[in-house]
Structure 1
Amino acid sequence: MPLTIATWNINSVRLRIESVARFVEAYRPDILCLQETKCMDGQFPLADLRKMGFDHIAIHGQKGYHGVAIASRYAFRDPERKPFFGKEDARHISVVLADGPATGTRIHNFYIPAGGDEPDPAINPKFAHKLGFLDEMEAWDGLKVGDAGNRSILVGDLNIAPYEHDVWSSKQLKGVVSHTPLERRRLIEVAKAGQWVDMMRELTPEPEKLYTWWSYRSPDWAAANKGRRLDHVWVSPTLGPAMRGFEIVKDARSWERPSDHAPVIATLDL
């Protein structure tokens, strides 16, 4: 049976709940992982998501900032909200599916810090936070998925475009946070340490361009197409043979009051 899982940095779930409903009606994902929900748990629009068919919802919210959520048509268990880098900001949530074709699969939803503007941890605390966050991800046993019986999926806005063709111009962006050589190397090391498979690049190898984010600053983002692949889908090696495809829903970037990220839908045949 196929499992579809969508990941989307929604940039305020309450502000864009109509866009969420439009997306869900059109694409009907089994699981929807949101980042940058920007609301406390008590303010999360649970009723709206339930009307969309998601009876099972796990949230990790924060007032005005960050925030992640997993909405599922299938029951789940063992929700976990892990803090990173000594902070209590809401950047991770995971669950284990307890029903459906992916029963027993752990779903991780991450929102890695953006890192500010200056790629120097000595003068930019936000960049130091980002690097420390990656260090802790690499060291966390919960993200070591190489065991033959491990079924795990990691999605989210990882705020790094690791490969040359994950950005519109690797040469021009090499000094820009999200595509600096240090960040690129560290994210790839995190994936390798856990033995994760980068599903999007496994199915669509370099040098094909892949973008999931386009800046609000561009007056005509579609024509310029100066994008970056900041949103990712990783799977454990056990699930590698189940990978069937993915779609970047670029049209959503042009909807009314859009997020600067497009949703990504991954399909696995389980």
Structure 2
Amino acid sequence: MAFTLATWNINSVRLREALVAQLLAEEAPDVLCLQECKSPVDKIPMERFRALGYAHVVARGDKGYNGVAILSKLPLEDAGSLDFAGLGHARHVAARLPNGVLVHNFYVPAGGDVPDREKNVKFGQKLDYVSDMTAHFADTMPQRSVLVGDLNIAPREDDVWSHKQLLKVVSHTPVEVEHLTRAQEAGRWVDVTRKDIPEGQLYSWWSYRSPDWNAADKGRRLDHVWASPDIAGAAHGSRILREVRGWEKPSDHAPVFATFDL
């Protein structure tokens, strides 16, 4: 069963309901994983999405912040959620597809502005969250699994517009990259996007603070698609829909796609 999966930090699913509907209508992924939904589950505007063929949803929500959802044309089995770092936030949900593939959808904490856990509690929470991911996947050793989401870390030098200038900026500091690398290695996860697009600058997020995000192009690749090694070879067709960042009243993230032939 071949399926196409997309991940997108939507920055409020209710505020950007029309953009989600546009993506579903134009691109028609089989599965769409959303982060930062900022909505209780019962307030997610599923009626419009169901009309477009997305009859299945597994989600966890918080009022006004966080929140993750998996929308699907294919039947979904709710596979639970994980509360890493004991934050009590809706930052993870998992669902199983009919072919047995387990999809993990993560929204890792952003970590605030100061990359020092002694001065910034949020940064410490972020590191603890990723450390708990590492421990979990070291214990479970994923098989037939896909991990997607806004991981809020750009690990490679070519995942940011300026490696040198961002070394002390949250999302690209060495300690964050080390933590994410350990989490990836613990589960033997394959970075599908970079497997398909191994060279060159690649971004999925551009700040709202830039008056002309497209011209300035000061982006970061914060959104990821990973696969367990037993199915990573079946992945192909990775792409980031940069143009979505230019839609009216957009999220500051662009959706990331990959197709799996299984």
- TM-score range relative to shorter protein: over 0.9
- In the TM superposition, residue 261 of structure 1 has moved relative to its aligned partner by 0.2
Tell me whether 1:129 sits opposite 2:121 in the alignment. no
1:152 equivalenced with 2:148 (yes/no)? no
Q: 1:2 Cα shift?
A: 2.5
CA–CA separation in structure 2 for the residues paired with 1:132 and 1:93: 18
CA distance in 2, matches of 1:49, 1:60: 17
Counterpart for residue 262 of structure 1: 254
Tell me which stretches of 4 or more aligned residues in structure 1 moved more than 3 Å. 141-146
Tell me the equivalent position of 1:35. 35
Relative distance call for 1:60 and 1:27 in structure 2 (3 A) is same
Does the 8 Å CA contact 1:245/1:267 hold for their aligned counterparts?
yes
Amino acid at match of 1:88: G
Shift of 1:160: 0.2
Determine helix, strand or coil for the equivalent of 2:84: coil
Per the TM alignment, residue 141 of structure 1 is displaced from its structure 2 partner at its CA by 4.2
What is the Cα deviation at residue 268 of structure 1?
1.3
Match of 1:106 among 102, 108, 123: 102
Structure 2 CA distance for aligned equivalents of residues 152 and 264 of structure 1: 17
Determine the structure 1 residue equivalent to 2:165. 172
User: Can you list the C-alpha shifts for 1:134-161, whole angstroms capped at 9, x where unaligned?
Assistant: 1100001487445xxx200000000000
Structure 1 unaligned spans of 5+: none
Check whether the contact 2:197–2:238 (CA below 8 A) recurs between aligned residues.
Answer: no
- Which residue identity is paired with 2:150? D
* Mapped partners of 1:187, 1:87: distance in 2: 19
TM-score (normalizing by structure 2): 0.97
Q: Distance in 1 between matches of 2:27 and 2:138?
A: 31
Partner of 2:245: 253
Q: Percent identity?
A: 53
Give 2:217's aligned residue: 225
Contact preservation (8 Å) 2:137, 2:186 = no
Q: Give yes or no for contact 1:53–1:73 (8 Å, CA) kept in 2.
A: yes
| Amino acid corresponding to residue 15 of structure 1 in structure 2 | L
CA distance in 1, matches of 2:169, 2:137: 31
Partner secondary structure for residue 86 of structure 2: coil
Tell me the equivalent position of 1:76: 76
2:236 pairs with one of 241, 244, 248: 244
Aligned to 2:203: 211
Number of the residue aligned with 1:140: 136
The count of corresponding residues between Structure 1 and Structure 2 is 262
